[in-house]
Structures are given as C-alpha cells and as structure tokens.
Amino acid sequence: MLIAARKYTLAIYEHLTPAQLQVPQVAIVNPPLWELAHIAWFQEFWCRRAQPGRAPLPAHYPHFDAWYNSSVIPHAARWLLPHPSYEVVLQQMGETFEDTLQALERADADALYPFGLAALHEGMHGEALLMTLQTLALPAPPLLLERAAPGAAIIGGAEITARDIAYAGGTFLMGAPPGASRFVFDNEKWAHPTTVAPFAIASVCVGNAEYAQFVDDGGYGRREWWSDAGWEWRAASSARYPAHWCKDGSLWLVRWNNRREPMDAAQPVMHVNLHEAQAYCAWARRRLPTEAEWEFAACAGGGPANYPWGEGATLLRDCVLEARNGRPVAAGESDARLGPLAHMLGNVWEWTATPFEPYPGFAVDPYVDYSAPWFGNHTVLRGGSFVTASCLIHNRFRNFYVPGRNDMFVGFRTCALG
C-alpha cells in the first residue's frame, strides 16, 4: 500500500514545470510543493516517530514540524514558507520513505496503525493533487491522458436508462465491525444497529444529459428548487451551470484540466456541490439517499460484506478507480458482477443527504484531527471516484466535505420520493 501510494503521488506532478508549480493562492488548494512535503512529513512523523512504546525521535529534517504539520500551520501561512525546490522536496520524500520502509520491517504485527494511516493519507492526497490540477486549469498528468478514451460529443439525446432498485429496508449493522482486518478510521467505528424504511434508489448516477435538462429549464434561476442555503450560495457565486461547463452556441463544453472539450452526455455529472444536487432533486421530484440507505444498498440489503459483490478485494481492479480509465465512464456502464447498482464504488463520489456526525460511542483515534474537527458542518460522500486509491474504498468508507465545495470529483444518484 505504501509503495503503490507513493508511485501514484509521484506520477501526478512529474509533468509540471517549475513555473507551473508556483500557483496562485486559492482557498481550496494547497501550494503543490507544500503538499508534497506535507505527505513526506506525515509519513515520517507517524511511521518513524509516533511508534508507541518508543522514545520520541527528532524529525529527519529540522524544519519539518514547523513547516508541514497541517494541524498547526494555517492554510494562508503555507504560502509564505520558504519552500525548497521541487528536486529537494523529491529527495526528502525519497529519504523519509526509506525511513518508513525500515521502520515497517521492525514493526510488530500489532503496531501497524501508523503505516496503514500513512498509506491511506497519501492516497487521499493523491486525489487532492489531481483536484488541484483541475481547479487551477493545469495540464493533466500522463496517467490520465494516456488512459482517457474520447467521449461522445453530444448533448440532449444520449441519456442513460436509469431504473429504481427497491429495497425492503430493515435493521442492519452500519459501520465497521470490531476486528476488521483492513484499516478502519475512527469515524467508521463501530458497527451499530440502524433501521432504514423501504426505499428505492436509482441504478445509476445522474448523467450530464439529465443535468443539462435541469440547466436548460432555468434550474439555476428558479428559487423554488433551491434550499435557503443553496439559493444563498447560488446568488453569491452567480452560478448558472456546474463548474467547468460553458456553452459554444448550442453545444455544451466541459473543461478538463487546461482543455475544453465537447461534453460527453453519457458521463455522470461531476463537480456539483450539495446545493446543486439538492436543487436538481427538487426539480426532478426525487431526493438524495441518506448515508444509511446508501450503505444498506451497497451492502446488498444490509449484509456484512465489504464490497457490493461480497467479500474479497479482487474485483476492485474492475471498478473505475485509480485513473485506470483516465475519465469517468458512462453513468450506466457497469459490470454485472459488481452488483445491481452501477458504480457504487468508483467513477464519481456521491453526495448523501446526511451530515457528517460520529457514530454512537465514538472515540477519537491517535490521529485526532482526522474526523472530530469536521463533525456537524460537513456532509457525507460515499463510494469513491475515478481517481480514488483503491486501498481506501469499501462499502463503509466515509468521505466528507462542506456543502458548498464542488472541486471534488463528485456527482450523485437519487432516490424515489415516498
């Protein structure tokens, strides 16, 4: 996991020039060199210096704690630090990675928490690096460009055939069971009885063609479809359509990194925030699933499996994860082996209707800033995207963002009303 995460990280920014690595200050991204160095610091701190029962060790580099600890370095301050060059950052990442591998060789089997944490943390940052490239209109890395198949340059006709999958509901154990063999974050702990009423959920995520109908019907200008918070966001942002969309005559275009391309009508809509997803649902007379409904459906009606197809991670290689396809694939294309609901894992993250809150009996893990600071003002996303690290993803993994964020590779699926 550690080796795979590092290989993925290094492949994302390797094509950028030194000038492209010097980016403007933006509230939703980190300075690229700071973020790479932070990945190295986090791994070095947890895997080399935070081992329980060992005497504290100094940082490999004297400035590491003062510059790269995200818990104490405010976002704005990260832009003011005297960052070393890209070459020096890469050298530091390599040296601290060797420290990590040596520490792993010495670690007892019951002391692997820091290594799992570091691997999954780096996997999350890999996706964040790709989000930065998209947000700032920087060129896509080769790992995306080489794998991306051209889409259908049409809009308005190629809609995905969606159907509702009905579930009888019932009581199931939501969350991770104690004794799970995989790494478990504190916000997944622990499995607890949860009851869901009967519901019906769409077999696919909402596609570009469907969402364009909402836009063309004046959806962004009609107050009746928006929540109070959503209408406030829309007015403040002057949004008229999703981020990265624009129109050339009658043709919708989408910006992929630094290039504009005709929209692929069959792909899931992406880069929409919670407010936009809720407004579409109101217009379509649908609703978002709750987090419990999403997990119940992913678990094939509340079963104990880690994946929609059952146990075993082998089929993760067939999900749209880790940039294997370079782009999201058509919202309706899915292998039947992966379950009746297309792309519950991979392709695009999916908004739920549920605020991010602790499960009953929550206790913070050693990495105290992972979950607890974000309870109450974030909303849960589920399922992963086309660039999410596969080691992260399973039926119970909880992602979370504030409702107004749309820079993630996120879409949504809907549920029937009533």
pLDDT at 171 over 90: yes
- pLDDT of the residue at 159: 53
Q: Among 51-65, 84-98, 190-204, which is the least confidently predicted range?
A: 51-65
pLDDT at 153 over 80: no
What is the tens place of the pLDDT at every residue in 179-203?
Answer: 888 899 999 999 999 999 999 999 9
What is the tens place of the pLDDT at every residue in 5-39?
Answer: 999 999 999 999 999 999 999 999 999 999 999 99
Confidence of residue 276 (pLDDT cuts 50, 70, 90): very high
pLDDT at 151 over 80: no
CA 134-287-411 angle, to 5 degrees, is 15
Average pLDDT, the chain: 94
CATH number assigned to the domain with residue range 147-418, chosen from the 4 options 3.40.50.300, 3.30.750.80, 2.60.120.10, 3.90.1580.10: 3.90.1580.10
- pLDDT of the residue at 146: 86
pLDDT at 125 over 50: yes
What is the tens place of the pLDDT at every residue in 322-380?
Answer: 999 999 999 988 888 999 999 999 999 999 999 999 999 999 999 999 999 999 999 99
Spans of all domains in the chain: 2-145, 147-418
- pLDDT of the residue at 157: 40
- pLDDT of the residue at 162: 82
149 vs 397, which has greater pLDDT? 397
146 vs 259, which has greater pLDDT? 259
Give the pLDDT mean for 149-174. Answer: 71
pLDDT at 53 over 80: no
- pLDDT of the residue at 403: 98
Q: Positive or negative, the Cα torsion across 377, 381, 387, 392?
A: positive
- pLDDT of the residue at 154: 35
- pLDDT of the residue at 150: 53
Give the pLDDT mean for 40-61. Answer: 86
Give the pLDDT mean for 61-70. Answer: 95
* % of the chain with per-residue pLDDT over 70: 96
pLDDT at 152 over 60: no
Q: Do residues 128 and 9 touch, judged by C-beta distance below 8 A?
A: no
